[in-house]
Structure 1
Amino acid sequence: MVRHMFGYFLLLWSLGHELYSTGKIDNGTKEQSWRNQNLDSVPLDLDVRLRRLDLSNNFIRRLHNLDLPYLEQLDLSSNQLELISEGASIKNLALLEKLDLSKNALNNNFDRNSKGLQSTGGLKSLDLSLNNLGDEAVKLYLRNKSSLEQLKLSGNSLTRLTRDLFKESEGLRSIIIDDNLISAIDRGTFEPLGKLGKLNLAKNNLAHICDFKLQHVKDLNLSRNSIEFFVTAEDNRIYSLEILDLSHNKLLYFPIVPKFNQLKYLYLHHNTVGALTSEASMVSEVNSLYNEVVRKGDVRIRKNNLHSTWRLMPLIYIDLSYNHFASFPLETLSLLRSLEELDFSFNCVQNLTWNVRRDGASEYDRQLYFPSLKYLNMQSNGLVFVSPLFLKALTQVEMINLQDNAVQPCAPEGRVYGSLSARQPKFNSSCVAFGKLKTLKHLSLEDNNIKSLQANAFQGSSLVSLNLARNSHMVMQVDSLEDIKETLQSLTISELNATNSELVLPCMPRLMHLNISNNNLNVLPQSLNCSPLRELNIRNNAFESLNYSLIETLSKHLGVINFSGNYFTCCDSNWLSALNNSRIKMPDITHTKCFTGDSGISIEEYLKSSSLYCSLHVNGIHYGQIFTVILFVAVLIIVFIMFTRKMCCLKKSFIV
């Protein structure tokens, strides 16, 4: 028996020794981290079976021999690495695929270091970011990198990209060279890279893109350069471009992209598009530019190249915020038949007029449509007028953000303003009839200086959320929310300076989110009884107490309440106990006070020992009040006794 056991253990030891000596791993992927250990050199006697090794955030200056034949990933980022020993340090990393050398000092000794890296021909991912590398240094580091698929060179000092830079790495799929000093790209630099899908050249010094030829690139980031125009010659090749980021540049015009593309997301925010006086002028100018750049000034061919390419774009999102539009480019944007989301915020469109060319000699305006547009952001334009024809064009719109404009909602058609109170403004044809937007679900009219919200102002709509905040002079008429009371789920009416008499809410059986903060309210509307509220914000009002029965009803659904900035009375707190005993979250309870007399205490502190703070209260009545009542009764008794005695004395005198 013992002899058999000994033989069994001998066999196990033999197998284990063999596995160890050959370096094979029998317990899956093995990794080790020496991150943030204040190391000044690579630790000795590393496990030969390592697959991943993290040596980042140390003080390693020199890299010597690493005998790790199974290592696949090595992170040496954020060290002080300036010397890679030639032929000794990385030659034994036969399986190395991912190498991170970012945030080091590889600009020193780059000629010698590049030779030390030449044996890593199997690398698929290389990060050389933030090493202050110039053009020549990068060229040397990329030698013998035929397997490279991902390359990151962020935060270096490249000034020009040349044709021979990537000639040994034609399998690259992703190149990130943002935050450099690149001002020129030679023709043919990226074209041979047939697998290149992602190219990031953000934060450089590029001035223009004259002829985009990268068929396989899907994601192109050119943001934060100094690009004035993006023009592509029209051809019949199919391009894979899906995402184009031209934000934070100096564009004056819409880009002319490849005719046959897959573009879905276009970012043009923070440019100067729309600075010209009209859409027609901008279209004319960009077409002239196309003739000059592509056709070398040949004006014999007259064609609207911008519109012909945009008409074919399958775009679903475009960001035009923070530009210089004084008018809305109706015709150009209406060509985007797949457009679902348009961000046009922070421009200068005060009047959204229907400036559309007419067909032939017809005296009627053409009716264009945005057949797929669901989300429209027009925040901060100073918008006053919106053409009814524009509203008619929004056949599928679900969300409109009009925050920080000057839009006035219309009363329903046929309602006579003269029959309303003297406080109501005279009828203004520039108001917006939101009831015409049958598909509209979400509307923000925050900070529009609305004067009056008329009864049935949203007649015909089925709003789910409505934001009327920061309209401090707005008068809400009775029944102003009547037509959306059955559909409304979220209502924000904060910062209106409203009192209880000025805020009359209907029964809203679907309302789940209500924000009535920053007003002058002291009583919760009783109509909230029929609302399944989940979130309630009553911050910064004049509440001294809350209706106990109403709170009990609301607590069936309520999940969050914010109530700081009020003047709650500590000892009138049945409602507070109900809240505290429920599962309702009170995120601002630490900033909420209640008052006993002239002193205020944290509600959290009060709840810990309410009996101490309210010891002079019995069933909600002050002992001081009881004493006053007793004193008053005593005085009455004394007066009565004195009066009785006087009457007795008078009677005796009369008898005598």
Structure 2
Amino acid sequence: MQIQGFTALLVWLLPMWRLLTPVTSHPTVNRCQLMQNTAVCNQRQLSSVPPNLSQNIEELQLNYNHITTLTDDCLIHYPALTTLSLACNELQTIQPTAFQNSQFLTSLNLANNNLYVGYQDSSEALKTLPMLNALDLSENKLDEEMTAVLLENLTSVEYLNLSGNLVQRLDENIFSHLYHLKELDLQRNVLFEIDNAFHSNRKLERLNLAFNNFPCLTDFHMTELVVLNASYNFIDWFISRQDLNETFQLETLDLSHNNLLFFPFLPSRSHLQNLYLSNNRLNFYQHLEDNVTYTNMTTTVEFYNLKNHAANVTAELWKEDLHGDLSSLQLLDLRGNRVSYFPQGFIRSMPHLSRLNLCINCLETLNFTSERFSGALYELDVSQNRLNHIQASEDALTALSNLTYFNLSQNNLNFLPTRLFSLLSNLRSVDLSFNSINICLVKPTNTVSHCIDWKDVPKLKQLYLKGCNIKTISSSAFSGMSLTHLDLSDNLGLNIEKSIQKLWRTLQHLGLGNTNIQDLTFRT
């Protein structure tokens, strides 16, 4: 009886067990993570937009999935959506009514997809977004014709990313409807020409043209532009229009990693603060005029655009007062060029210059007296040049009261003005590595010396003297100093005696590599 009763009970519970088993043993997986008004559905192997999320979501992230098509009405359940990201899917087409219920969408990320396949249908869909503010179409294999179709009538867009596509040429129609455009990223395309492409974009402030194929940028007249990045191209001439009465709003210009032979012809009136010219072939050529031996050698060049119309720019190659307005410049980066001298008045034209980088150039002389560097200068790097002579009056050095970083390493210096560093009252870091400059055993009395008395620079914190052929450092060489970094590496046979003991309270880094010093003990 007991067995039969148990069997009857089991038979009665079996249907209920079958109902409960799917819930308890195989729970439904929630593919998206909900955080307030945001649904994060990244990397969920989705092939379509999930239909069962909260209707109140304002941001939907669907990155790194397998969505090939945004179908009509796929977003109909999410009328409050303002941000949609579909980056790194396999998206080919957006059907024309996919956004019909997304009137509040302001930010749309479609980066790294295949929109070149169905760009015409996708264009019709984009036109239904009246509040679209930011659009990312980067890395979609788009050429200029496809891009023009996709951008038709997107008058509300302010931020547009087209980087990593296949755009070769920009004409006057491609951005003609983007009246509110403020920022445009076109880097890593195959651009070689711009033909009045931005005439309608009066509000454009930031333009990125890096990593393209531009051979030159002439007739530059975008007065409202604040930031222009044209680095990593093949630019040999940059010439701004000189006949404009407006003041250019340009603050940052990046022409690094190009083929510039001449200093760029900058606007005659501007607010330029940051100028990046590193890794070009730039030099000044005024001195070459004195050595011209060819009777037919031209000294002027006239520029034409690709339509064979004169660009109204004639440059006198040896005339060096065409640098433009440098009065607001704060940073000048000339690393990796061929600069051998400064034209007369060039440095003086930058009264607010605070950072000057001239490493890896051909300077042989540095004259603080005649150049009159800005009193705002706090960083000066002239390393890896051919410097063999530095001239500096006391007044010129005293005026550099803000200079904190001074790099003279890897030059041909054997002598320096005795008070070169002591008159720089706020100097914190000096690099003299790989010059033939010693540490004085006694205080020098001449105006120039082959050694430096570092006790005269009491605020110095970092001192780099690698490879200076230093043999002996007196016990009092660093008395009264509070160095945190001292590098004496590559001075073979160095004898430091008790000099380092003076720094035991402050020293954090000590470089003694390749000196044959094997045993050093700090005594506290």
**Same fold by TM-score greater than 0.5:** yes
- The one of 289, 308, 332 equivalent to 2:346 is 332
Match of 1:476 in 2: 472
Q: Are 1:406 and 2:412 counterparts? A: yes
After superposition, residues 379-418 of structure 1 pair within 5 angstroms as: 379-388=383-392, 392=396, 395-396=399-400, 397-408=403-414, 410=416, 412=418
User: For the Cα contact (< 8 Å) 1:446–1:467, is it kept in 2?
Assistant: no
Q: Are 1:193 and 2:201 counterparts? A: yes
Larger radius of gyration: 1
Q: Are 1:231 and 2:239 counterparts? A: yes
User: Which residue identity lines up with residue 345 of structure 2 in the other structure?
Assistant: E
Equivalent-residue separation in structure 2 for 1:393 and 1:516 (angstroms): 29
Residue by residue, what CA displacement relative to the aligned partner does 1:398-451 show, whole Å, maximum 9, x if unpaired?
Answer: 321122223345595xxxxxxxxxxxxxxxxxxx94335444332111233546
Residue by residue, what CA displacement relative to the aligned partner does 1:330-380 show, whole Å, maximum 9, x if unpaired?
Answer: 63223111111100011122x2155x9xxxxxxxx9564433222101121
Match of 2:21 in 1: none
Equivalent-residue separation in structure 2 for 1:411 and 1:480 (angstroms): 22
1:45/1:319 CA distance change after superposition, 3 Å: same
Q: Are 1:213 and 2:221 counterparts? A: yes
Q: Give the Å deviation of 1:255.
A: 1.3
1:190/1:455 CA distance change after superposition, 3 Å: farther
Equivalent-residue separation in structure 2 for 1:480 and 1:328 (angstroms): 40
Residue 238 of structure 1: SS of its match in structure 2? coil
1:348/1:191 CA distance change after superposition, 3 Å: same
Equivalent-residue separation in structure 2 for 1:52 and 1:261 (angstroms): 41
Equivalent-residue separation in structure 2 for 1:466 and 1:321 (angstroms): 23
User: For the Cα contact (< 8 Å) 1:99–1:126, is it kept in 2?
Assistant: yes
User: For the Cα contact (< 8 Å) 1:287–1:305, is it kept in 2?
Assistant: no
Match of 2:94 in 1: 84
Residue 53 of structure 1: SS of its match in structure 2? strand
Match of 1:37 in 2: 44
User: For the Cα contact (< 8 Å) 2:189–2:211, is it kept in 1?
Assistant: yes
Q: Are 1:138 and 2:152 counterparts? A: no
Match of 1:352 in 2: 365
Equivalent-residue separation in structure 2 for 1:321 and 1:372 (angstroms): 20
Q: Give the Å deviation of 1:197.
A: 1.1
User: For the Cα contact (< 8 Å) 1:152–1:176, is it kept in 2?
Assistant: yes
Q: Give the Å deviation of 1:223.
A: 0.7
Q: Are 1:504 and 2:513 counterparts? A: no
Match of 1:55 in 2: 62
Q: Give the Å deviation of 1:44.
A: 2.6
Match of 2:25 in 1: none
Equivalent-residue separation in structure 2 for 1:366 and 1:62 (angstroms): 67
- The one of 244, 257, 265 equivalent to 2:266 is 257
Residue 84 of structure 2: SS of its match in structure 1? strand
Match of 1:435 in 2: 422
Equivalent-residue separation in structure 2 for 1:480 and 1:409 (angstroms): 22
Match of 1:71 in 2: 81
After superposition, residues 170-319 of structure 1 pair within 5 angstroms as: 170-187=179-196, 189-234=197-242, 235-274=244-283, 276=285, 278=287, 288-289=300-301, 295=312, 297=314, 305-307=321-323, 309-310=324-325, 312-319=326-333
User: Which residue identity lines up with residue 353 of structure 2 in the other structure?
Assistant: L
Equivalent-residue separation in structure 1 for 2:431 and 2:320 (angstroms): 37
After superposition, residues 639-654 of structure 1 pair within 5 angstroms as: none
Moved segments of 4+, more than 6 Å: 279-282, 290-293
Equivalent-residue separation in structure 2 for 1:313 and 1:303 (angstroms): 19
- The one of 128, 132, 135 equivalent to 1:123 is 132
Provide TM-score, normalisation by structure 1: 0.64
Residue 60 of structure 2: SS of its match in structure 1? strand
Which structure is richer in relative contact order (CA contacts within 8 A, separation 6 or more)? Answer: 2
User: For the Cα contact (< 8 Å) 1:161–1:185, is it kept in 2?
Assistant: yes
Q: Name whichever of 217-226 and 394-403 sits farther off.
A: 394-403
1:291/1:69 CA distance change after superposition, 3 Å: closer
User: For the Cα contact (< 8 Å) 2:87–2:112, is it kept in 1?
Assistant: yes
Q: CA RMSD in A?
A: 3.4
Match of 1:323 in 2: 337
Equivalent-residue separation in structure 1 for 2:214 and 2:476 (angstroms): 54
Residue by residue, what CA displacement relative to the aligned partner does 1:547-569 show, whole Å, maximum 9, x if unpaired?
Answer: 6xx4xx5xxxxxxxxxxxxxxxx
User: Which residue identity lines up with residue 47 of structure 1 in the other structure?
Assistant: S
1:278/1:40 CA distance change after superposition, 3 Å: farther
Q: Give the Å deviation of 1:37.
A: 1.3
Residue 342 of structure 1: SS of its match in structure 2? strand
1:237/1:205 CA distance change after superposition, 3 Å: same
- The one of 6, 28, 53 equivalent to 1:46 is 53
User: Which residue identity lines up with residue 474 of structure 2 in the other structure?
Assistant: V
User: For the Cα contact (< 8 Å) 2:300–2:315, is it kept in 1?
Assistant: no
User: Which residue identity lines up with residue 75 of structure 1 in the other structure?
Assistant: S
Q: Give the Å deviation of 1:107.
A: 0.8
User: For the Cα contact (< 8 Å) 1:49–1:70, is it kept in 2?
Assistant: yes
User: For the Cα contact (< 8 Å) 2:207–2:227, is it kept in 1?
Assistant: yes
After superposition, residues 597-608 of structure 1 pair within 5 angstroms as: none
Equivalent-residue separation in structure 2 for 1:207 and 1:402 (angstroms): 34
Equivalent-residue separation in structure 1 for 2:377 and 2:46 (angstroms): 57
Equivalent-residue separation in structure 1 for 2:366 and 2:393 (angstroms): 8
Q: Give the Å deviation of 1:517.
A: 3.8
User: For the Cα contact (< 8 Å) 1:495–1:519, is it kept in 2?
Assistant: yes
Residue by residue, what CA displacement relative to the aligned partner does 1:151-202 show, whole Å, maximum 9, x if unpaired?
Answer: 0000001111111112221101101111111111112x21322221111111
Equivalent-residue separation in structure 1 for 2:101 and 2:55 (angstroms): 11
Equivalent-residue separation in structure 1 for 2:298 and 2:51 (angstroms): 64
User: For the Cα contact (< 8 Å) 1:476–1:503, is it kept in 2?
Assistant: no
Q: Give the Å deviation of 1:384.
A: 2.6
More helix, by proportion: 1
1:287/1:248 CA distance change after superposition, 3 Å: farther
Q: Are 1:513 and 2:508 counterparts? A: yes
Task: Flag structure 2 segments of 5+ consecutive residues without an equivalent.
Answer: 1-33, 292-296, 305-309, 444-451
Residue by residue, what CA displacement relative to the aligned partner does 1:194-213 show, whole Å, maximum 9, x if unpaired?
Answer: 22111111111112222221
Match of 1:485 in 2: 480
Residue 238 of structure 2: SS of its match in structure 1? coil
Q: Percent identity?
A: 26
User: For the Cα contact (< 8 Å) 1:231–1:290, is it kept in 2?
Assistant: no
Aligned length: 465
Q: Give the Å deviation of 1:497.
A: 4.0
User: For the Cα contact (< 8 Å) 1:273–1:324, is it kept in 2?
Assistant: yes
Equivalent-residue separation in structure 2 for 1:270 and 1:100 (angstroms): 34
User: For the Cα contact (< 8 Å) 2:473–2:496, is it kept in 1?
Assistant: no
User: Which residue identity lines up with residue 375 of structure 1 in the other structure?
Assistant: E
More strand, by proportion: 2
Equivalent-residue separation in structure 2 for 1:501 and 1:296 (angstroms): 62
User: For the Cα contact (< 8 Å) 2:347–2:373, is it kept in 1?
Assistant: no
Task: Flag structure 1 segments of 5+ consecutive residues without an equivalent.
Answer: 1-26, 357-364, 413-431, 523-540, 554-656
